[in-house]
Amino acid sequence: MIGNDWDNKLSVIWNSDGFKKFMSIIDNEYNTKTIYPPKEDIFAALKNTPFKDTKVVIVGQDPYHGEGEAMGLSFSVHDGIKLPPSLKNIYQELKDDLGYEPVKSGDLTKWTKEGVLLLNATLTVVKDTPNSHSKIGWNLFTDYIIRVLNEKEEPVVFILWGNFARSKKELITNKKHLVIESAHPSPFSARNGFFGSKPFSKTNEFLKKNNIKEIDWNLN
């Protein structure tokens, strides 16, 4: 399914009758509606960031629902697509925190290669209909991924922005990991605790303290 060590970690899921039935429902959605991201990008987050390389997890809610936006990575959009408001605010906080100037591209693939798993809780969405697939069962799958990461021996940083992401905190019980939580970067809430939260420097301080190579957050 993935082509890296996630296949072994998730083999119990891939081989379950329940997941096969669920994916047949997803297939039918793609066959009868306009669904994002493209089918081949549903598992892009796992393909880009193997389990063994995962140092940081940024939890999103569901994919962008506009044409050409979603690429299977939370908060990320394809190069050439107008920056979503939340991503603009993420770039602003990145500048305030680490001094990196905002870039024009919203493609966060570089972060995934640094060990940042950009995981949406729901992996598909109907065009122009936010949260349209939030109750069909993806959360069972992505919660399992978080539980698997919770069992990782190496320390992991979980970045939870907004109430929805913060609800996943109960899955992170291993004391060796770090949970960074704040308001969501959305324009509706960014000034209520996201700006000034310094998630990028806090992440690197934690990784350095645990003798793990820090994330190069610079997208330039």
Q: Which of 136, 142, 137 is nearest to 121 (CA)?
A: 142
One-character DSSP codes across 123-184: --EETTBTTTTTTTTHHHHHHHHHHHHHT-SS--EEEEEHHHHHGGGGG---TTSEEEEE--
- Is 62 catalytic? The answer is yes
Q: How does DSSP classify residue 41?
A: G
Q: Which of 41, 62, 79, 128 is catalytic?
A: 62
Q: What single-letter amino acid sits at 147?
A: R
Instruction: Please state, in angstroms and as integers, the Cα–Cα distance from residue 63 to each residue in 17, 35, 112, 128, following that order.
Output: 26, 10, 16, 11
- Please, are residues 68 and 45 in contact by the beta-carbon 8 Å criterion? no
Alpha helices in the chain (DSSP H): 6-9, 11-14, 17-32, 44-48, 85-98, 109-113, 138-150, 162-166, 199-209
Pairing of strands 56-60, 157-161: parallel
If 0-12 CB within 10 Å is exposed, 13-18 middle and 19+ buried, where does residue 12 land?
A: exposed
Place of tokens 């063994």: 52
Which residues are catalytically annotated? 62
